[in-house]
Structure 1
């Protein structure tokens, strides 16, 4: 049969009709809000390249936690900026590290809020790389296996502080297996791992590096983060992490990699997260501030597109606003 018997517009005739046949729904429960914490007192620093996103000192975290929970957000992803940096990222795994302190404070303020700890060294190293760097014969190399030891220490210290989920983002080979073993041996067998399984070396991270003060001081991260041209490699990375014990997978960035998100969703049966990263946020904000776009409509359409592509969870700097819009 064909037109005029088939008329697709019949199911678009009213808002109620469209709601009845809608295939995908974005819900506040899908959203995870990143938080940046920093040393100091009374600090609420707006990040210039990310309007509406702030670095928070621990004594002011209550303001952000209250707004997030009132908006219905149930999970946060925690990033920390240390007071001092060194070559081995000591601040990442110290008992009184900034992420560990912030985790304990959030759990005091909102015990039901799921705290996801980003597990990496880049914010804590003076060179800005995600592992231990050795300089040999005029070149710098990130030592994969030596880095794993420090990442395990970081994950265990985060779990000890009360983190509900460990989210390793370092892209070292074997990082899930090492962290899973370390958590289990430390008595945290029930703490899940949300692996940054498919993390591309991307230009979309620029504003984040300002927010987290984590830009590499030399070179780039292309020897450990993925080549943006590769898709089959993403499946290999995800498969490895599943075999090593990952409980959830992540694709990062989001918008330019929705095809990869769909590949993972179709191939694997674990929950899949997508990270709507900093430059994706900043471009929308910049255009909205100039009155060029309808921010609410653009954001909700973008996040719905990520849900349609297969995301079970969406990490987004729009989380607070999107949650409010969804409930209004």
Structure 2
């Protein structure tokens, strides 16, 4: 040994698979993953989404079978996104107990009662204009949207949803939904707030998948990607309004926000590995540039390490079924 060689050798605990697992700080399991599902009414068969290879729109008539297979794979929670054929200016189908959102929930819960079913509560998938709220005179009207978000959440919970996830990024949306749920007799219904939802280019594949492209943008209500402190403020405001969980979306480009938020709140945190993040890995793997399983696992671990308790990911099903989460 050379004189003065450091006595601290970090490699001592890396030589054996057993010692690596013993000292590992971050773990992934099926308990941490939520699978998003796109459900389209009046669709005859599964329709592949070109911008998200391996992901398809699910016909409404096949949803029960799909939920059963997802549960068989070992996934324990799903988030439902509806692709409506009954759009209007105000997204009224989402507030109808017989509408697509309510029907999806009922079918999912009847198929696998123990599956945790979460609804995405917004309007972009159900409106002719594609915005996330009530559109009047060239702008989204925040306060008109709040009342409708409240009604939408009540419909979801009364259809059997286990949790609602408001994603419209309206000021005061969590308080409005909490009040509506409480007044309707659902004080135990939890809210997962899209607390820091950035106006991101990574949403491109989702918008084509969910049929919610629009002329223009959502910069007036989704967050500026340059703002980290404002993201913390948005999230902490949702906490004071009664959110039970807080979400950062997208995930990979905003791990700094996730980590900083973890230091500011004791609430459970979620992040959303969005369509663009999935597509980058998937297309790179198809080109032979990356190993898909190890790259996806590394990204999911980064999200957990940054502070996420839950991860919404298009890789959830494959990661669990194909045992990507197992220790290498």
TM-score (norm 1): 0.96
SS in 2 for 1:102: helix
Considering only aligned residues, what root-mean-square deviation do their CA atoms show, in Å? 1.3
* Aligned residues of 2:65 and 2:111 also touching (Cα < 8 A): no
Q: Which residue is 1:187 aligned to?
A: 185
The runs of 5 or more residues in structure 1 that have no matched partner are: none
1:67 is aligned, of 52, 66, 69, to 69
Tell me the matched-pair count. 323
* Aligned residues of 1:28 and 1:326 also touching (Cα < 8 A): no
**Aligned ranges 1:149-160 → 2 under 5 Å:** 149-160=147-158
CA–CA distance in 2 between the matches of 1:11 and 1:194? 39
1:222 is aligned, of 212, 219, 223, to 219
Deviation sequence 1:178-217 (CA, Å, 0-9, x none) = 000000111111100000000000000000001110112x
Measure how far apart 1:43 and its partner are. Answer: 2.3
1:168 is aligned, of 162, 166, 169, to 166
* Aligned residues of 2:199 and 2:224 also touching (Cα < 8 A): yes
Deviation sequence 1:271-310 (CA, Å, 0-9, x none) = 0000000000011111111222110100111101100000
The runs of 5 or more residues in structure 2 that have no matched partner are: none
2:287 is aligned, of 285, 290, 294, to 290
Deviation sequence 1:232-275 (CA, Å, 0-9, x none) = 10111011111110000000000000000001111100000000
Measure how far apart 1:53 and its partner are. Answer: 0.9
TM-score (norm 2): 0.96
Q: Which residue is 2:38 aligned to?
A: 36
Q: Which residue is 1:118 aligned to?
A: 120
CA–CA distance in 2 between the matches of 1:144 and 1:299? 37
Q: Which runs of 4+ in 1 moved over 4 A?
A: none
1:147 is aligned, of 145, 148, 166, to 145
Q: Which residue is 1:177 aligned to?
A: 175
Measure how far apart 1:102 and its partner are. Answer: 1.0
* Aligned residues of 1:275 and 1:315 also touching (Cα < 8 A): yes
* Aligned residues of 1:11 and 1:18 also touching (Cα < 8 A): yes
Q: Which residue is 1:86 aligned to?
A: 88
CA–CA distance in 1 between the matches of 2:186 and 2:83? 25
Deviation sequence 1:105-155 (CA, Å, 0-9, x none) = 1111100000000000011110000111111xxxx1111001111111111
CA–CA distance in 1 between the matches of 2:166 and 2:87? 19
CA–CA distance in 1 between the matches of 2:294 and 2:175? 41
